[in-house]
Amino acid sequence: MPKIGLPAWTWLSPIVGSLLLFGSKLGGPYDLVLAIGLVACVLAAVHHAEVVAHKIGEPYGTLVLAVAVTVIEVSLIVSLMLSSGPAGAGLARDTVFAAIMIILNGLVGLCLLLGGARHLEQRYGQAGVSAALATLAALAVLTLVLPNYTTSAAGPVYSNSQLAFVGLVSLVLYGTFVLVQTMRHRDYFLPSGSAAHDEDAHAAPPTALAAWLSLALLVVALVTVVLLAKSLAPTIEAAVAGAGAPKAVVGVIIAGLVLLPESLAAVRAARADRLQTSLNLALGSALASIGLTIPVVAVVSLVMGWPLSLGLDAKAMVLLMLTLLVTTLSLATGRTTVLQGVVHLVLFAVYLFTTIVP
């Protein structure tokens, strides 16, 4: 294994994680072991996605990472939905909203703060970021705000036909963005300038054997994550309920878990003065989180006949609109400093606090 450059933990984690499934019915302290295995498999999955991404280059690399992370997120949401039944109607909404707030405020804020503190001012391509934000704003409002104002179905839900239509629209928007990012205007998303001096950005790509092995291990890790998540779903919900926390905290836990490895990659890129790569990772993940998650959970909802509550409450809508406005203003000039980072991190702190203390 050392000959192909894959650390031992990256191929041991999926194997050990799959073996842990044989004791998934034990419960009790064994659930902690399953949780550790789940985190290890998530980290391994993203590592292998990074290997594949490095092999195929930008901007395809960040797309692979975003899709891999979203597959993990969808698997966790669907597992919890299946274990909760109709009671989990708002889980997808809470998780997608949490992912948006974590990415646009927490992750982007941390990248801008740490990158600005180290390099004073950072630059990036305005065209790609603007395209991503325009698509993200449309997806967020159509999926999380508009359901509160339609009249075909009572409450913050879409009717079946509306849900199917919005799921299709989400796929169209995300698919069009991917087409622009990878084919028609891929130069909008390519790092330039200071990135040329970063050793990590120009390290030798992995061998073909390493890339194919990572692709196989990525599939194994993702399947293992799905099965481990299904086993841990009741425990996660019981722990949140036992702590007396709002149900929305479950969505924060899921989003935080799946975004942690990619967040570390984005922060590393920002500290290395590769803000374009950092923003590609962050905004691409936010887009995939909505554009791929909503269609999948919509299908699950329609097939199972369960309600799917997508509309945010008034407090969350205010935070979402403020976040989209501030992000648009912060990333409107092609240059950032620590100030924008602090503003986003303050908004993230407000989101976390008002989620726990609504």
pLDDT digits (tens, 9 = 90+) for 164-194: 999 999 999 998 998 888 878 878 787 765 4
**Rounded mean pLDDT, 329-351:** 93
> Please, which residues bridge with residue 336 across strands?
122
- Output the pLDDT for position 226: 74
- Output the pLDDT for position 203: 60
The Cα–Cα gap between 14 and 20 comes to 10
Q: What is the pTM of this model?
A: 0.83
Between 270 and 235, the more confident residue is 270
CATH code for the domain defined by 8-356: 1.20.1420.30
Banded model confidence at residue 328, pLDDT cuts 50, 70, 90: very high
**Rounded mean pLDDT, 85-92:** 75
Using CA atoms in the order 30, 31, 32, 38, what is the torsion angle rounded to 10 degrees?
A: 120
The Cα–Cα gap between 169 and 143 comes to 10
Please determine, for residue 288, whether its predicted confidence score (pLDDT) is greater than 80: yes
Please determine, for residue 59, whether its predicted confidence score (pLDDT) is greater than 70: no
Residue 292, CA distances (Å) to 68, 211, 277, 288 in order:
11, 25, 21, 5
Please determine, for residue 357, whether its predicted confidence score (pLDDT) is greater than 80: yes
- Output the pLDDT for position 137: 95
- Output the pLDDT for position 4: 55
Please determine, for residue 3, whether its predicted confidence score (pLDDT) is greater than 80: no
DSSP string, 49-112: HHHHHHHH-TTHHHHHHHHHHHHHHHHHHHHHHHHHGGGGTTHHHHHHHHHHHIIIIIIHHHHH
Residue partners of 80: CB distance under 8 A and separation at least 6: 88, 91, 229, 233, 236, 237, 250, 254
| Minimum mean pLDDT range among 47-56, 77-86, 125-134, 204-213 | 77-86
- Output the pLDDT for position 27: 73
**Rounded mean pLDDT, 118-135:** 89
Kind plus residue range of the DSSP H or E element containing 122: strand 122-123
